Amino acid sequence: MADWSKTWTYIDGEWVDGNPPVVGPRSHALWLGSCVFDGARAFEGVAPDLDMHCARVNDSARALGLEPTLKAGEIVELVQDGLTKFDKNAEVYIRPMYWAEEGGYVGVPPLPESTRFCLSIYEVPMPSPAGFPVCLSSFRRPRTARYTRPTPTAPF
């Protein structure tokens, strides 16, 4: 098992220390990918744009056919509660997520009412502000011929 950094997970209405297992092999999210998340950061005692990250995870859930179980403001409150479990200036990653446990019609689309929520907050250092090297490639993407619809030669 991995040597996880300090992690707190909110699942099924309670905070759990560490990285608990939350999906099984029959979970829709595992075999059909019905999972969404949004990542935010907290550092130096601030969590920039946290409200927008929490709103966006709900928007993403709806776009995937899931039914968000919390309002964005409720997620913000959970994050604020979870941040109290870390040092004030800890550098943490904040990951609210939703997934479907069950499938709907013939099992393929997610069953919206089976949506589950989890919030994982864990320590991870901020990347160095040094930047990274960038260059312009000498390679060019091949130009494609303009598509023209073929003229039918015989009636259908």
Query: 92-121, pLDDT tens digit by residue?
Result: 999 999 999 999 877 789 999 999 999 999
pLDDT, residue 153, reads: 60
Mean pLDDT lowest among 7-21, 31-45, 72-86, 134-148? 134-148
Instruction: Note the residue count of the chain.
Output: 156
pLDDT, residue 152, reads: 59
User: Is 54 a residue whose pLDDT tops 90?
Assistant: yes
Q: Is residue 118, in this structure, part of any structural domain at all? A: yes
Q: Could you list the residue range(s) of the whole structural domain that residue 64 is in? A: 36-123
pLDDT, residue 154, reads: 55
pLDDT band at 128 (very low <50, low <70, confident <90, very high): confident
Q: Is residue 113, in this structure, part of any structural domain at all? A: yes
pLDDT, residue 104, reads: 80
CB 80 within 8 A of CB 8: no
112-to-102, 108, 109 alpha-carbon distances in Å: 8, 12, 9
User: Is 148 a residue whose pLDDT tops 90?
Assistant: no
Q: Is residue 80, in this structure, part of any structural domain at all? A: yes
* Residue among 20, 31, 72 nearest 50 (CA): 72
What is the rounded CA–CA span in Å between residue 55 and residue 53? 5
Q: What is the CA radius of gyration of the chain?
A: 22
Share of the chain above pLDDT 90, in %: 73
Instruction: Count CB-CB contacts under 10 A for residue 86.
Output: 17
Sign of CA dihedral 118, 124, 128, 133: negative
Q: Provide the 3-class DSSP secondary structure of residue 127.
A: coil
pLDDT, residue 83, reads: 98
Q: Is residue 17, in this structure, part of any structural domain at all? A: no
Q: How many domains does the chain have?
A: 1
Where residue 51 sits, what CATH number does that domain have? 3.30.470.10
